Amino acid sequence: MLSHVDVLIIGGGPAGAALALALRDSGRKVMVLEAQSDFFRPADPRALALSYGAKILLQRLGVWDGIADATPIATIHISQCGGFGRALLTAGESGVDALGYVVNYSALSTALHQALGQANPLYLTGATVSGVKSTPGFGMASFEHGGQEHEVTASLLVLADGGRSLGQVSGVERHVVDYDQTAVICHVTVERPRPHVAFERFTPFGPMALLPSGAGYDLVWTVRPDEADSLLQFDDGTFLARLHERFGDRLGVFTSVGKRASFPLSLKYARPVTAQRMALIGNAAQAMHPVAGQGFNLGLRDAWELGEAIINTPHAEIGNPAMLQRYRQGRSRDTGGSILFTDLLVRLFSNDYVGVSQGRGLGLVVLDLLPGAKRLVARKMIFGAKG
C-alpha cells in the first residue's frame, strides 16, 4: 500500500471514476477509494439524461461504447399542465446528432467501474474512509481495506463521495434548500409512443419528465411528499390512471408500469468548492433538482475540468492554493449558472398562482417562435453555462 500519491479520490462513483480516467495517461499517481465492494454493486433504477456534451466527454474517457442501451433524444417537448403554450427543442435546430441520451444509472456506473478497473491499479473497492484532514503541504485520509487500517497522504484530496466526508472539512459550508417535493420514478409503456421524443411537463406540484427508454419511457414525476406515498401504494391501474390524468393524452393510454421508487428533492451545494489541499466534485459540490437533467452532466464537467487543471499544473504545484483558485474560478460560471437555472425552473413552474400560468404559457410560445433563443437554451443545456 502506497503512503503518498499525487491525487487521492474519495468515491468511485461516476464523478470520481471520470476524474481518475481523465488522469490515467497523465503521469500523475492517482488512487481511488470506493466503499462498495467489487462483488456487490446494487442495481439502481434511476434513469440519467446525459447531454450530448456528456457523451463527448465519455467518448474521450473511452467509456461510451461500454454503456448498454443508450436511447437518443432528438426532441424535447416542453408544456405545462392546465395552461396553454408549448415549445419544441430539436437536435437539428441545435446542430447536433442528439440533444442527449437516456441511460440507466447502473449501466453507466458499470461501464465506468470496468474501465477504471482496467486502467488504474490503485482503484481500491471495499475501502471505507473513516477520516480526512489536511495540512498546508498535503491532504490525508484514513481508511479500512481488506481488514486492515491504512493512511495515505496526497498532494490533492478530491471528495467525490456525495458529500459524506464534508463534515470533516473546515472552511466549507453546506447549503440546503428543501423543495418539499418528492420524485417518483419508474418505467412505463404507452399506447402511442413517439420514438426519441422526451417530454418535460410542468404541473402546479412540480415538473414531470418522460424520457424515451427502449420501447417505453422512464418517468420522473415530481409531487408533494404525501402524494408520493399514495402513488407508491396504488395498484398499477390506479397509478396509470392518475398519471394519464396529470400528463394528458399526447401518448394515448399508459399501458403498464414497472417497479416504483421515490426520493426527496432538494438543492444542496457547498461553498467554496475547494479547501486546503482539497477539491469537491459531483454531488459533493452540488446536488440539484432533476428538472432539465443537469445534475450528472454538471458533475462530469467538474471531473473533466479538474483533470485538465491537474494535468496543466506542474507536478510540484498540484493542490497548492493557486491551482485550486484557478479551478474554482474556472468552474464558478458553469456551476452557478446551472444551479440558478434549475432553481428558477422549479420555483417558476411549480405553482398555480393567478396570472403566472398565462405568463409561463406566453413565455413558451415566444421561445418556440424564436429559433435563435431555442438554440441558445439547447446549447446551454448541452454544454453548460459556458456554452
* Residue 122 placed within a domain: yes
Share of the chain above pLDDT 70, in %: 98
**Residue carrying C-alpha cell 481523465:** 22
Q: What is the mean pLDDT of the chain?
A: 93
- CATH number of the CATH domain containing 163: 3.50.50.60
The whole-number pLDDT of residue 42 equals 65
pLDDT digits (tens, 9 = 90+) for 46-73: 889 999 999 999 999 999 999 988 999 9
**Residue carrying C-alpha cell 408500469:** 257
DSSP 339-355: HHHHHHHHHHHS---TT
pLDDT digits (tens, 9 = 90+) for 70-126: 999 999 999 998 788 899 999 999 999 999 999 999 899 999 999 998 887 799 999
* Residue 36 placed within a domain: yes
pLDDT digits (tens, 9 = 90+) for 235-252: 999 999 999 999 999 999
Task: Tell me the residue length of the chain.
Answer: 387
Give every CB contact of residue 102 below 8 A, 6+ residues apart in sequence.
47, 48, 49, 50, 70, 71, 73, 198, 211, 212, 213, 218
* Residue 305 placed within a domain: yes
* Residue 146 placed within a domain: yes
State phi, psi for 151 to the nearest 5 degrees.
Answer: -135, 140
For the chain, what is the domain count?
Answer: 1
Angle at 101 between CA 56 and CA 194, to 5 degrees: 150
**Nearest alpha-carbon partner for 158 in 275, 251, 66, 22:** 275
Decide if pLDDT at 39 tops 80.
no
* Residue 180 placed within a domain: no
Q: How many CB atoms lie within 10 A of CB 311?
A: 14
* Residue 284 placed within a domain: yes
Indicate the pTM of the whole model.
Answer: 0.94
* Residue 342 placed within a domain: yes
Print the domain residue range for 338: 4-44+110-175+267-349
**Residue carrying C-alpha cell 490525508:** 140
* Residue 271 placed within a domain: yes
More confident residue, 26 or 37: 26
The whole-number pLDDT of residue 354 equals 67
**Nearest alpha-carbon partner for 159 in 8, 24, 298, 336:** 8
